[in-house]
């Protein structure tokens, strides 16, 4: 009887720096890789009946994956934040940390090698767990074995408990508290380009997926830290209706038992404010970091 791969039975392992981390993810998980097809005409002057195009497949597009984690009190998920925000220690601020990721089911073990995280979003809705959702790209997706495949790396022992934290928000703009809060978000985008990796010589030797041309390296175009803060429009804050600022501070925090749990302390930001006329009127700060910090991981912490 065939054994199926079920998402609910899956596990995610990140291998970085010789260590292996069993990351507990939500059911919002996916991964895939596609091949690039080039169609060409086979109709000739002497044979006009060949209406269907031929095809050539010699290279793969970058692999894609995404998953979400709850940021817990035990902070076992800190490796995900580290990979999203920090540079390689020897790159001079030009390369993100690269890692391998394994998806294990009851039937198979899949590997995406040479991965980087291209973007992540922190969701801070009141009375809901603080969540980080990340998207990433990698060089090559393969099935490396069955469920018993031995994943490399020194397994880091997880905590005995997992305690998600509800997002009790504490937000400041320009040093002043934002009152009547509804929700807040924060995102990090690492905009990259893959270095061209297709050559005529290599394309001529491609016979199947095993020797196709896969991505090898990338460059970072820019990084964007941005988000929004939504508050109810009341008599307490209507004096700041429809405003903007090009140089101010934004601090987005969540509290746990009165202490700061998650902290994004952005010192130089711009924002514009917009209003939405719902049943209860709201206004939203759309903000973006406009400076280039040397270490993004030191200003977004938990």
Q: Indicate whether 66 pLDDT > 90.
A: yes
pTM for the whole structure: 0.88
Among the listed residues 282, 52, 72, 42, the one whose alpha carbon sits nearest the alpha carbon of residue 164: 72
**What's the whole-number mean pLDDT along residues 24-34?**
91
Q: Indicate whether 271 pLDDT > 70.
A: yes
Q: In angstroms, rounded to a whole number, what is the distance separating the alpha carbons of residues 129 and 277?
A: 27
pLDDT tens digits along 245-269: 999 999 999 988 888 999 999 999 9
Q: Indicate whether 90 pLDDT > 80.
A: no
Contact 271, 286 (CB under 8 A): yes
Q: What is the mean pLDDT of the chain?
A: 88
Among the listed residues 101, 172, 104, 103, the one whose alpha carbon sits nearest the alpha carbon of residue 136: 101
Contact 63, 32 (CB under 8 A): yes
Among the listed residues 29, 172, 196, the one whose alpha carbon sits nearest the alpha carbon of residue 103: 29
Among the listed residues 105, 164, 106, the one whose alpha carbon sits nearest the alpha carbon of residue 131: 164
Q: How confident is the model at residue 46 (pLDDT cuts 50, 70, 90)?
A: low
**What's the whole-number mean pLDDT along residues 23-50?**
80
User: pLDDT above 90 covers what percent of the chain?
Assistant: 55
pLDDT tens digits along 210-241: 888 899 888 888 999 999 999 898 888 877 88
Among the listed residues 302, 271, 301, the one whose alpha carbon sits nearest the alpha carbon of residue 285: 271
Backbone angles phi, psi at 99, to 5 degrees: -150, 170
Tokens of 22: 């069993």
Tokens of 77: 């998920």
Contact 71, 302 (CB under 8 A): yes
Q: In angstroms, rounded to a whole number, what is the distance separating the alpha carbons of residues 271 and 288?
A: 7
What local confidence, expressed as pLDDT, does residue 105 receive? 92
Q: In angstroms, rounded to a whole number, what is the distance separating the alpha carbons of residues 114 and 141?
A: 10
Helices (H), the chain: 78-85, 200-203
pLDDT, greater one: 128 or 178 = 178
Q: In angstroms, rounded to a whole number, what is the distance separating the alpha carbons of residues 191 and 119?
A: 8
- Alpha-carbon radius of gyration of the chain: 23
How do 108-125 and 131-138 pair as beta strands? Answer: antiparallel
């Amino acid at each position: 009887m065939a054994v199926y791969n079920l998402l609910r039975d899956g596990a995610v392992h990140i291998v970085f720096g010789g260590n292996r981390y069993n990351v507990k993810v939500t059911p919002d998980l996916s991964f895939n890789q596609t091949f690039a097809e080039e169609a060409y005409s086979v109709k000739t002057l002497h044979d006009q009946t060949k209406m269907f195009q031929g095809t050539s497949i010699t290279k793969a597009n970058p692999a894609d994956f995404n998953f979400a984690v709850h940021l817990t009190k035990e902070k076992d998920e800190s490796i995900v934040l580290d990979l999203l925000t920090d540079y390689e220690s020897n790159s001079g601020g030009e390369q993100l940390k690269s890692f391998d990721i394994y998806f294990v089911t009851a039937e198979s073990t899949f590997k995406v090698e040479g991965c980087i995280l291209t973007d992540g979003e922190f969701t801070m809705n009141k009375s809901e767990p603080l969540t980080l959702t990340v998207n990433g790209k990698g060089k090559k997706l393969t099935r490396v074995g069955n469920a018993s495949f031995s994943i490399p790396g020194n397994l880091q022992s997880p905590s005995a408990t997992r305690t998600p934290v509800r997002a009790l928000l504490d937000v400041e703009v320009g040093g002043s508290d934002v009152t009547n809060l509804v929700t807040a978000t924060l995102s990090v985008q690492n905009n990259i380009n893959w270095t061209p990796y297709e050559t005529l010589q290599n394309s001529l030797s491609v016979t199947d997926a095993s020797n196709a041309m896969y991505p090898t390296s990338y460059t970072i175009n820019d990084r964007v830290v941005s988000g929004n803060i939504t508050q109810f429009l009341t008599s307490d804050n209507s004096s700041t209706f429809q405003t903007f600022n090009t140089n101010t501070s934004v601090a987005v925090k969540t509290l746990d038992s009165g202490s700061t749990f998650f902290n994004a302390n952005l010192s130089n930001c711009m924002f514009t404010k917009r209003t939405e006329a719902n049943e209860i009127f709201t206004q939203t700060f759309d903000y973006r970091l406009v400076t280039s910090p040397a270490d993004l991981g030191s200003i977004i912490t938990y």
